[in-house]
C-alpha cells in the first residue's frame, strides 16, 4: 500500500525529551521563568524558536530578537553537550529490527524532523547513512504543522505524498502529515490522536499498518 515511510525523529526513533527539558530548564531558570515537564510536552514537534516563544508566555518583560537568538543559541549549546550522552545503545532493538524489515519489504525510509540537530543525533545512534533521505529543520522555512518537512522528505525519496506514511508522536506532526496529503501513524503521546490513520501501541505495530 505504501512505498515510503517518513519517520519523525525525536519521540519516535529516539527519546530526547529529557535533554530538551534540562537545557530549556537552565535557560528558564536564568530568566526566572517557571518551566516544568508539562510545558516541555508542548514543545514536541515545534521548532527551537517557537519552543522558546512558548516558554516566554510566562515571562513578564520584553525581549528583543537579538536576546531571543542568544538564549536559543545557549539552549542549543547545552542541549548538544547533553546529546553526547547518546549512543547506539539508545536505539531500541525493536525500532531497528522493524525498520530493517520494512526496508526488506522494499519500502523507502526517510526522516522528517523539525530538529536542526537531526544528523548529529542519527550519528550518535549509529544511524549515519541508514535512511534513504533526511529532511530536517535546516532545510525548511515552515515547521510542523506545516507539511514542508514531510513534502521535502517525499520528494527526496522520489515518492508521491499519498504513497507515504508518516510516523509521529506529536499532534503538530500528524496535522502536518494530513496537510501534506499523507496518512499518519500516531505513536507514544499521539497514539490516541484522532488525526492518525493508525494508532500504534508499539513500534512493531507499524509492520501491520503497512500490511493493511
Contact (CB, 8 A) for 79 and 86: no
How far from the centroid of its chain's Cα atoms is residue 206's Cα? 17
From ligand BG6, Mg ion, none, interface partner of 159 (C-beta below 5 to 8 A by class)? none
Identify whether 136 is a catalytic site residue: no
Q: Which positions from 108 through 167 interact with ligand BG6, judged by CB under 6 A?
A: 113-117, 137
Q: How far is the CB of 203 from Mg ion (least distance, A)?
A: 13
If one asks whether residue 47 binds ligand BG6 (CB under 6 A), the answer comes out as yes
Identify whether 163 is a catalytic site residue: no
Pick the closer one to ligand BG6 by CB: 137 or 188: 137
Pick the closer one to ligand BG6 by CB: 163 or 189: 189
Among 27, 51, 145, 183, binds ligand BG6 (CB under 6 A): 51
Which residues contact Mg ion (rule: CB under 5 A)? 8, 10-11, 45, 169-170
Which member of 8, 132, 169, 183 is catalytic? Answer: 8
Pick the closer one to ligand BG6 by CB: 44 or 178: 44
| Lookup: cell for 27 | 535557560
Pick the closer one to Mg ion by CB: 159 or 169: 169
Q: How far is the CB of 9 from ligand BG6 (least distance, A)?
A: 6
Catalytic residue list: 8, 10
Residues that bind ligand BG6 (CB under 6 A): 9-10, 20, 43-48, 51, 76, 113-117, 137
Amino acid at each position: 500500500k505504501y512505498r515510503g515511510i517518513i519517520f519523525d525523529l525525536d519521540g519516535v526513533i529516539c527519546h530526547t525529551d529529557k535533554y530538551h527539558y534540562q537545557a530549556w530548564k537552565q535557560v528558564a531558570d536564568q530568566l526566572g521563568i517557571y518551566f516544568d515537564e508539562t510545558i516541555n510536552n508542548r514543545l514536541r514537534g515545534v521548532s527551537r524558536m517557537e519552543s522558546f516563544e512558548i516558554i516566554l508566555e510566562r515571562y513578564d518583560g520584553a525581549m528583543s530578537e537579538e536576546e531571543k537568538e542568544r538564549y536559543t543559541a545557549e539552549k542549543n549549546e547545552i542541549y548538544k553537550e547533553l546529546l553526547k550522552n547518546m549512543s547506539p545503545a539508545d536505539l531500541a532493538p525493536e525500532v531497528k529490527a522493524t525498520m530493517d524489515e520494512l526496508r526488506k519489504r522494499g519500502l523507502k525510509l526517510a526522516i522528517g524532523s523539525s530538529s536542526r540537530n537531526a544528523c548529529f543525533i542519527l550519528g550518535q545512534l549509529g544511524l549515519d547513512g541508514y535512511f534513504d533521505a533526511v529532511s530536517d529543520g535546516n532545510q525548511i522555512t515552515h515547521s510542523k504543522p506545516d507539511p514542508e518537512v514531510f513534502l521535502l522528505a517525499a520528494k527526496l525519496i522520489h515518492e508521491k505524498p499519498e504513497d507515504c506514511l508518516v510516523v509521529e508522536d506529536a499532534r503538530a506532526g500528524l496535522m502536518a502529515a494530513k496537510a501534506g496529503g499523507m496518512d499518519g501513524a500516531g505513536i507514544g503521546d499521539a497514539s490516541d490522536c484522532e488525526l492518525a490513520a493508525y494508532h500504534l501501541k508499539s513500534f512493531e505495530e507499524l509492520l501491520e499498518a503497512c500490511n493493511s
